Chains A and B, each alone.
Chain A
Amino acid sequence: MRLELDAVSKRYGSTTALDSVSLSVDDGEFFTLVGPSGCGKTTTLRCIAGFESPTEGTVRFDGESMVGVAPESRGVGVVFQNYALFPHLSVGENVAYGLRFTDPPGGGSRDERVAELLDLVDLAGFEDRDPDSLSGGQQQRVALARALAPGPDLLLLDEPMSALDARLRDRLRRQVKRIQSDLGVTTVYVTHDQSEALAVSDRVAVLNGGRVEQVGQPRELYRRPRTRFVAEFLGENNVLDGVVESRPETGGIRVGVGDAVFTLAEGRRVLGEAGSRAGAGDELTFCVRPEQLRVGAGTNKIRGTVVDTEFQGATTRVRLDWGGTELVVAVEDGGEQSDAGFEVGTTLEVGFAPASAHVVE
C-alpha cells in the first residue's frame, strides 16, 4: 500500500505540532521517522493511524483520502512503545483480537492464524500465557504479532524498542526488519535513536520542530546532510562556519575558517546546492565526519590540543580544542602502542581531504 502525506499540519491551540509535512512511502518500504523529542514524529504517526485528525492537509492510502475515516476502518496495525497488551486476555487472545472484525487472511481458522504469527515472532506455543508473565522483549513480539494478524496494509511502530536494553534492541530490530521484508508490508517506524534509523530503514525522514528537514536513504542522509540539524543529528559531526575566499579556475572552493583556509572539492556531492552557488565573500557552512579527520594525513590540516578521549572499543573518540572550537576525531583502535599519542594536553595534527567535506545550508 502506498502512503502519502499531503502538506499535513496539526495545531493544538497556539502550538504547531506539524507544519506542512509532505511524505510518500512506497509499497513494501520500511520508512523511518526520526528526530528529537517533540519533533512531531509521534503526532505524524497518530494522524496516519487516525487517532488524530490533521488540521490541514490530507493523508492518503493508495491515493484515497483518509479524512473522516475512523481508525478501525483504516486497516493499520500499530505497535506502541509500551506494547499495550490487553492484560485481561491471554497471549493467544491478544493476537486473535483483530480477527474478531475480519476473516483471517489467506483462509484458514483463527487458531491457525494465531499459531502462524506466534511462530513468525519465535513465540510458538505461547497462546495460553499471561501477558504479565512475559519479558519486555516477548511482550513486544506479541504486540507485533497482534498487529500483523489481521493482515494490515500498513504497519506503524512507535518507538517499540525504547523500553528494552541495548543488546535486545539490536536483536529485535533485525527480527522486525526480517519479518517486514518477508511479508512485504509497508511500514512506518518512529524512533529518536538515529543509529537505529540508519540501520534498518529503506528511507529515513528527519523531523525537527514539526517540519521535515530531509528525506532520503540512510547513506545519503549520513554522507550528504542537507541542513546543519541533520548533519549534527545523525551521528557525530564537525560543523564549521566559514567565509568563501575564492573560487579558483581549477575548481573547488577555498573557504576561510578563522585563521585557516581549507580547500573543498568541486562537484555536487561535496558542495551541494548552497556550495555550488556561493561566491567570494559569501558565508559557507560545511561539515566533516569524525572518521574523515585522519591523524597526520589529508591536505586540509588542523592542529589542535587533546581535551578528552573516550574509548569505545573499535574506535576512540578524541576531542580536540582548535582555537576555541571543539572537534571530534574518530580514531581506529591501534592497540596499546597508539594510546600514548592521545593523552590530554597533547598537540595533535589531523587533516581531511577536499572531497571528504560536505556543505550544508
Chain B
Amino acid sequence: MSRASASVRRVARALEQRLLTLVAALTAVVLLVLFYYPVATVFADAVLVDGRLTIEPIAAVLTSEFYLVDIIWFTAKQAFYSTLASLALGLPAAWLFARFEFRGRETLRSLTILPFVMPSIMVAIGFVATFGRNGTLNRALSLVGLPPVELLFTLEAIVVAHAFYNAPLVARVVTAAWESVDARTVETARSLGANPRRAFRDVVLPQLLPSIGVGATLTFIFTFASFPIVLALGGFQLATIEVFVYSRVRDLAYAEAASLAVVETAVSITLTAVYLRYEAGQRSAGGAANPLPRRSVLPADWTPKSALRTVGIAGYALVVGLVFVVPVASMVLASVTGGDGGLTLANYAFLAERQATGASFQVKPLPAILNSLGFAAGTLVVAVPMGVTMAVLTTRRYRGRGLIDVLSMAPFAVSGIVVGLGLLRGLVFGVDVLGTRIRVTGAIAIVAAHAVGAYPFVTRNVAPLFARLDGRLVESARSLGATRTRALVDIELPLVWTGVVAGAAFAVAISIGEFDSTIILAEGAGSYTMPVAVERFLGRRLGPATAMGCLLLLVTSASFLVVDRFGGRWGEL
C-alpha cells in the first residue's frame, strides 16, 4: 500500500472515530440556529422594554384578571377535561387490547396511531362538519324530529375533539405496559391469598401507573398548547393561551404575546420534565415473556356478569365508532354537499376552477399540495438524522445527560406560533451579524419549523430501541475491527431501523399537518401549505374547506403509508 493511500486511510479512520462527536456538534448548532435563537428573540420581547430588562410585561399578564381567569385558567380547565375525556375513552381500549382476543385486534391496534398523525386542522374541520348548524349531528337529529343543537363554540366540542386525538395515544401506551406485565407475578399474588381484584390493585395497577402518567401528561401538554382545534371550535370567545398569542401577534402586540408565551412555555416545560420522568419509569415495552392471558370477547358461558360486560363492551365500541368515524365521515359528506343540502361535486369543481383561473394572491390547491409535499421531504432530510443523533446521544450514560434530554425535547414544549414568529423575525427578516445581513427564505424557515417540531418524535421512536440493544453487539463488532461509527452503521442502525422508519413516517405526517408555525411563516400566497389553505377557505363556506380537508386527509395517509412501506422494504435489503 502506497504511503499516500495509507495516510489517507489513517485520516479517514480518525474522522470516522470522531464522526459521532462531529454530528452531535452539528446537530447542536442546527438546533441553536433554528430553534433556540429564534425562540429567544421572541421571549426577549417579554423581558426587554425599550432596551431595559424588566418583568413588567409578564407581571402584567400574571396579575391581569382577564388573562388569569379567562385565558390561562380556561386553558388549564379545558386541558384538564380533555385529559379526563381521553383517559375515559382510551383506558377501556387498552383493557380490550391487552386482555381480550377478537377479530381485527392487531389491525385496530396499528390504526391507533392514525388519529395522532392526522392534521389538527383536519380534525377541527371534521368536528365543525359534525357539530355545525348544518352539520351531520343536527341533520341526524332533524331526521328523528328533534330540534337542532348549538354545539359549536362550546367547551364540550373542544373536549371531544381533543379526545379524538389523544385517547388512541393513551390506549397505545397503556396497552404496551399492560402486555409487559409478567403473568407469574399475578399468579404469585393469587397463591399468597389475593383475590383477582386485589391482585389487580396490588400487582398490575402499579405497573400500569407510569404509562397512564405518560398518557395523561402528554395529553395535557398537547391540549394545553392546542391551537387549530380551539380556533375552529371555540373561535375567539373560548380562547386558549395559544389562540390568544396568535391574536396578539396578528395585532402586532408582541410584548403581550411574548409574555403569554413565556407563561405557557413555563407550564409546558415543567410538564415535559414530568413526562420524561414517567417515561423513564416505564419498563421497556418489549412485551413480557409471560403476558397476561387473553380471553375471547364473547363469553364462553353467559352469566349475568359476563352478559353485562359484553353489553358494556358493545356500548363502548359504539361510542368509539361515533367519536372516530363520524367526524371523518362528516367531513367527506360535507365536501360533497352543496348549499342546498343535495349531493354535488361543486366544491371540488370550485377547487379545480380556482386552480385554473385564480389570481396570484389567491389560495390555489395544487401549489398547496406541492408545497406540503416539498416541505415534508425537506423535513425528512433534516429531522431524521437529527432525531437519530439525539437518540444515540440520549441512550448513552454521561454527565449532563438529563439536561441534554430536556434541552432536546424543548421543541415539544414551546408553542409552534412562537417558533414561527421567532423564525420570521429572526431569520426571514434577517439578522445583522458582523455587518452583513443574514437572511433565510420563507421556505427554508418553514422546513426548519417543521423539522424542529418533528425530530422529537423520531427520537422518541428510535431511543427505546437503542436502549434495548445489547452493548456486547457493538463490542463484538469493534473487536472484529469496526470503528465505533462503522459499528453504528453495520450493527446498531439495522437493528433500530423499524424505529427510524416509524419516526420518519411521523415526521412526514407532522410536517404535512403542521399549522401553528406555518400560518405565521406562510406570508403571501406563495408558500402556503394544505392546512393553511384549509383555514383560508374556512372563512367563507364550509364546502371548499372540507373538500380541501379531504385532499389533506388523502395526501397525509398516502405519505404516511408510503414512507412506512418503502422504509420497511429498504430495511430488509
Contacts and interface: CB of A to CB of B under 8 A. Distances in A.
Interface of A: 49-51, 70-72, 74, 76-78, 80, 82, 84, 86-88, 97-98, 100-102, 143, 146-147, 150, 156
B409 to A, nearest CB: 29
A98 B480 contact: yes
Interface in B247-300: none
B477 interface: yes
Contacts of B490: 97, 100
Interface stretch (B436-444, B467-475, B533-541, B559-567): B467-475
Nearest to A74: B479
A144 B482 CA distance: 18
10 contacts: A49-B475, A72-B478, A74-B479, A78-B475, A78-B479, A82-B470, A84-B470, A98-B481, A150-B480, A150-B481
Given A87-B495, A88-B494, A101 B472 contact: no
A289 B475 CA distance: 42
Q: Closest 7 interchain pairs by CB?
A: A101-B481, A98-B480, A84-B472, A78-B479, A71-B478, A84-B476, A80-B472
B475 A84 contact: yes
A51 B470 contact: no
A51 B475 contact: yes
Contacts of A70: 17, 478, 483-484
B491 interface: yes
A88 B572 CA distance: 9
Given A70-B17, A82-B472, A49 B479 contact: yes
Contacts of A78: 475-476, 479
A82 B470 CA distance: 10
A86 B480 CA distance: 12
Nearest to A97: B480
Contacts of A98: 480-481
A80 B476 contact: yes
Contact of A86 (B17, B473, B481): B473
A156 B17 CA distance: 24
A72 B475 contact: no
Contact of A88 (B480, B486, B495): B495
Contacts of A82: 470, 472
Interface of B: 17, 470, 472-473, 475-484, 486, 490-491, 494-495
Contacts of B477: 86, 97
A76 B479 contact: yes
A156 B480 CA distance: 12
B497 to A, nearest CB: 9
A82 B469 CA distance: 13
B472 A72 contact: no
Contacts of B491: 86
A81 B135 CA distance: 65
Contacts of A51: 475, 478
Given A143-B476, A146-B476, A150-B481, 15 more contacts: A51-B475, A72-B483, A76-B479, A80-B475, A84-B475, A84-B476, A86-B473, A97-B477, A97-B480, A97-B482, A100-B482, A101-B482, A101-B486, A146-B480, A150-B480
Chain A CB within 10 Å, residue with most, of B476, B477, B478, B486: B476
Chain B CB within 10 Å, residue with most, of A71, A82, A156: A71
Contacts of B470: 82, 84
Given A49-B475, A80-B475, A80-B476, A72 B481 contact: yes
Contacts, number: 65
A49 B482 CA distance: 13
Contacts of A50: 478
Nearest to B472: A84
Contacts of B480: 72, 77, 97-98, 101, 146-147, 150
Chain A CB within 10 Å, residue with most, of B480, B482, B486, B490: B480
B259 to A, nearest CB: 45
A72 B494 contact: no
Contacts of A71: 475, 478-479
Contacts of B472: 80, 82, 84
Contacts of B482: 72, 97, 100-101
Nearest to B494: A88
Contacts of B475: 49, 51, 71, 78, 80, 84
B81 to A, nearest CB: 46
A109 to B, nearest CB: 18
B500 to A, nearest CB: 14
A61 to B, nearest CB: 14
Contacts of A101: 480-482, 486
Contacts of B486: 72, 101
Nearest to A158: B472
A74 B483 CA distance: 12
A100 B481 contact: yes
B538 to A, nearest CB: 48
Chain A CB within 10 Å, residue with most, of B472, B481, B494: B481
Contacts of A87: 495
A100 B490 CA distance: 11
Contacts of A100: 481-482, 490
A46 to B, nearest CB: 8
A12 to B, nearest CB: 12
A77 B479 contact: yes
Contacts of B481: 72, 98, 100-102, 150
B205 to A, nearest CB: 33
A76 B17 CA distance: 18
A98 B17 CA distance: 17
B9 to A, nearest CB: 11
Contacts of A49: 475, 479
Nearest to A96: B480
Contacts of A88: 494-495
Contacts of A74: 479
Contacts of A146: 476, 480
Contact of A72 (B473, B479, B495): B479
Given A70-B17, A82-B472, A86-B473, A147 B479 contact: yes
Contacts of A147: 479-480
Nearest to B16: A72
A188 to B, nearest CB: 13
A77 B477 CA distance: 10
A74 B481 CA distance: 8
Nearest to A102: B481
A9 B476 CA distance: 24
A78 B479 CA distance: 6
Contacts of B17: 70
A82 B479 CA distance: 15
Contacts of B483: 70, 72
A15 to B, nearest CB: 16
A307 B415 CA distance: 77
A344 B318 CA distance: 74
A329 to B, nearest CB: 42
Nearest to B493: A88
Contacts of A86: 473, 476-477, 491
A143 B480 CA distance: 11
B374 to A, nearest CB: 34
A262 B494 CA distance: 68
A71 B486 CA distance: 13
Contacts of B494: 88
Nearest to A98: B480
Nearest to B470: A84
A290 to B, nearest CB: 39
A306 B495 CA distance: 59
A150 B486 CA distance: 17
A78 B491 CA distance: 16
Nearest to A81: B472
A143 B476 CA distance: 9
Contacts of B473: 84, 86
A300 to B, nearest CB: 51
A239 B480 CA distance: 45
A74 B495 CA distance: 26
